[in-house]
Amino acid sequence: MVHDIARSEAPSMLKEVALYTMELLAKSNVLCEQSLRTHKLFDEMMLFIVDEKSSMRLQTRSVSLLLALVSKNSVGQMLLRETGCLSILQKFFRETLTKSEIDSSNESFEEKYLLWYRVCKTLGAAVNNPQNEENQKICCSTLSHVQTLLEGCVKPEIIHPLCLFIGLSVAGNPPVQKFFTYLGGLDVLADIFTKLVGDSHQNISNTKMAVTVTIAMEACIANNPPGSIVLGKHHIVPKLLTLLFLENLDSEEKTLVLITLGCCIESCEESLCLLLQNNGLELIVDSLSESHSEIVSIVVSIVQHKCKIFADKLLIQLLAHVLQEISAMENEGQALGCLKKTKITPFKREYKEQGLETDGNVGDSLLRGNDQEKDLPKQLSDLDAQLYHLPVNDEFKSQLESPEGLESASCLSSKWEPIGRSTQKSLKEV
């Protein structure tokens, strides 16, 4: 009977009451939920949502009924996708509330916000609890709009639902985690978290929002090392320590912060170093070991394990460096040995190019003197003879017979004559 009233030609206000009654019945009774969770009802709700004649209150009630039928129910998640309601909800999520309306908070903001909030919660229920990877993949495109709404926003009514949606969308899905990180969404979360922690001492609301952002960051970096590296670059660990020891956090909230801290140091050496530099491990053990023994022990185990890996890596690098230095010293020693044993020096190569031959190393002969030094004048005389008795062809002879040729010959003679003599003289002086 209630369902018949909702789809009749009754006034909009009466339809709203009927939809609200069906929502309460679905939440309170499993049999009612099963009888309402039909393909037909999902189609009817989609028509209410897209109908331009529907009031915003009627649209909100329709979305709320879908939320009751989808929450913690894989069949409802499937029906939402197969009927096309999921795509419609994504469209409303992008268009109902814009960044400018959030910043200005005009008169229509409250009414629009209620519809937008219900849509956001329904999308979150559609992708997780239980996890639905197919719906997560479809809603992946919505994350870019989520990032746009978050940029520069510190309003709790916006941050809380968006962070909840992010956490549900990326949880347990590495491709979606990487996509959100690639978009820069994790950087935006880190910036918001940094700002909230900076103001947390003066504002309890900012402290609670910081915990909410912490949950979203943990979902993004769990089993996702690239995400942990992004948070490491933002130096999130010292800020997590600051948040962890605030007095206005309860034990459950501190546990959530500790879990995020563990995920940060598990996959990022920079975050581990920041924890140790800020004396974080000792503070955690001393302050929280009694109230959070299990979580604290897990964090301590992670730190010990990562420190061992880090130390082993440093040891391997040190050994590799030592071996490289030893190898370089050995190569240098071999090179010096070769220089001592070689019999050809640059001096000897130069003499060979000029046509001089020596029996030994010129450098050695200069040191020893004796026979090889005595042979140098004779070798230089032979070189002079070669220079003065160059073979002359017919063309060259004709040039010599002409006056110009004689002049050229004299030039040639003057050019070659000093070379042998000056060389001989200089070498004798040596």
The mean pLDDT values, 10 residues at a time, for the chain of 430 residues are 90 94 95 94 95 93 97 95 96 89 75 93 96 95 93 89 96 94 94 91 88 96 93 95 89 90 89 90 81 77 80 83 83 68 49 46 43 48 46 47 44 41 42
pLDDT given for residue 355 in this prediction: 47
Whole-angstrom distance, CA of residue 36 vs CA of residue 3: 9
Region for 360 from its dihedrals, namely left if φ exceeds 0, alpha if ψ lies in -120 to 50, beta otherwise = beta
Structure tokens at 285: 């053990």
Nearest-angstrom CA–CA distance, 288 and 258: 10
Helices marked H in 184-292 — which ranges? 185-198, 204-221, 225-233, 236-244, 251-267, 269-277, 280-288
For residue 30, count other CB atoms closer than 10 A to its CB. Answer: 8
Q: For residue 130, give the DSSP letter.
A: T
Looking at residue 342, its pLDDT comes to: 57
| CATH number of 1-131, picked from 1.25.10.10, 3.30.60.50, 3.30.420.40, 1.10.357.10 | 1.25.10.10
Query: Quick check: 375 and 428 in contact, CB under 8 A?
Result: no
Contact predicate 205/250, CB 8 Å: no
pLDDT at position 233 is 94
- pLDDT recorded at residue 361: 44
Q: Which helix (H) or strand (E) holds 54?
A: none
Angle 193-225-313 (CA atoms, 0-180°, nearest 5)?
120
Q: How far is it, in rounded angstroms, from Cα 187 to Cα 189? A: 5
Cis bond leading into 403, ω under 30°?
Answer: no
**Token pair in block for residue 382:** 């032979």
Residue 52 class from Cβ within 10 Å (0-12 exposed, 13-18 middle, 19+ buried)? exposed
Q: What is the pLDDT of residue 423?
A: 42
Q: Which residues, including other chains, have CB under 8 Å from residue 38's CB and lie 6 or more apart? A: 79
Angle at 23 between CA 17 and CA 25, to 5 degrees: 105
Q: Measured between alpha carbons, how far is 326 from 67 in angstroms, rounded to an integer? A: 70
Q: What is the pLDDT of residue 176?
A: 95
Quote the pLDDT of residue 352: 47
**Confidence (pLDDT) at 419:** 41
d(CA 152, CA 47): 35
What DSSP character marks residue 140?
G
Cα(430)–Cα(424) distance, rounded to whole angstroms?
10
For helices 109-127 and 56-70, give the axis angle rounded to 10 degrees. 20
Cα(116)–Cα(89) distance, rounded to whole angstroms? 9
First to last CA, the chain: 126
pLDDT at 340: 59
- Rounded Cα gap, residues 29 and 371, in angstroms: 120
pLDDT at 327: 83
Task: Please tell me the distance from the alpha carbon of residue 72 to that of residue 201, in angstroms, as a whole number.
Answer: 37
Note whether 429 and 420 are within 8 A (CB).
no
Name the segment(s) of the chain with CATH classification 1.25.10.10.
Answer: 1-131
Per-residue model confidence (pLDDT) at position 337: 67
- Give the C-alpha separation, 15 to 193, whole Å: 42
